Structure 1
């Protein structure tokens, strides 16, 4: 009986945290939308951009403690219009984490080369309550992030980026460099 109550309490607490992160992500998008719309109205000329963009991302993942690990991933964006895109993200964090992230990001381009990201997805990681290194669990994750894309020659870009991942067990900070290609 007591174990069942503890499990229900943990589930309610986890749902509350995910609801909180989702509200933060939605409010962030709502705060940016008026600026994007104002720029769109002010600047009627059609800007040239690539509909597709793929990038290799290399960086570091760390928590608020002393754990960190090399992160490597790929992302893809399909630009719906000049200020919003939708895509996919696969990222692996090694070192102390050994996490695999699979997410669907919404890319918002509020001004020139700035990119804001909000993504929902799943994370596969080692079990927190077991000492067995091979045991894995899956959990939901919400990622928010910001990047600035510097255009290079022949459709190439380089973008420093900073992301915060919110999950049931921890908050992670992911920062790195993305090298991308627009087509």
Structure 2
């Protein structure tokens, strides 16, 4: 079941071997919005390898900072939605640390969540491909690990 998480990351690395050194080559000042479709898997101690699909939006404020929102749905045994407001800290043009609070909705229950994660955006023409890894801390529930690949574009 862990292959559900590792497969997208390995596939992305295979597809991006020619762009490893390229990084993000667009000027964010011209296209400050960025939207990605995110596919991967979510693991918790109780529920391993739930297929996860989501959307990640960022509005770039400066060379270092962007703000945005993330919405993800984890299927399978988890069957939950996660909604986050995030800060994207651009350590390099392509390497990003993402942090932010939010909540997870599972049935009628809601849990507070704090996400800390990292992603690396490879530019392939007008498209970005970003392997990502996130840790979701839920103080009153099971923490989660999300490994995914995002495919996005700036506008």
Give TM class, smaller chain: 0.7 to 0.9
Cα distance, 1:65 vs. partner? Answer: 4.6
Aligned length: 127
Report if aligned partners of 1:68, 1:97 keep a CA contact under 8 Å in 2.
no
Distance 1:177 1:156 in 2: 13
Q: Normalising by structure 1, what TM-score? A: 0.66
Cα distance, 1:83 vs. partner? Answer: 1.2
Distance 1:115 1:162 in 2: 11
Could you say which structure has the higher helix fraction? 1
Report if aligned partners of 1:106, 1:117 keep a CA contact under 8 Å in 2.
yes
Cα distance, 1:64 vs. partner? Answer: 3.0
Report which structure shows greater RCO (CA 8 Å, sep ≥6).
2
5+ residue gaps, structure 1: 1-46, 127-135
Task: Provide the residue aligned with 1:146 in structure 2.
Answer: 118
- Of 6, 29, 51, which residue of structure 2 is paired with 1:70? 51
Compute the RMSD of aligned alpha carbons: 1.3
Q: Which runs of 4+ in 1 moved over 6 A?
A: none
Task: Provide the residue aligned with 1:96 in structure 2.
Answer: 77
5+ residue gaps, structure 2: 1-25
- Of 100, 120, 123, which residue of structure 1 is paired with 2:104? 123
Deviation per CA, 1:43-85: give whole Å up to 9, x if none.
xxxx822310000000000013552210000010000011100
Report if aligned partners of 2:86, 2:99 keep a CA contact under 8 Å in 1.
yes
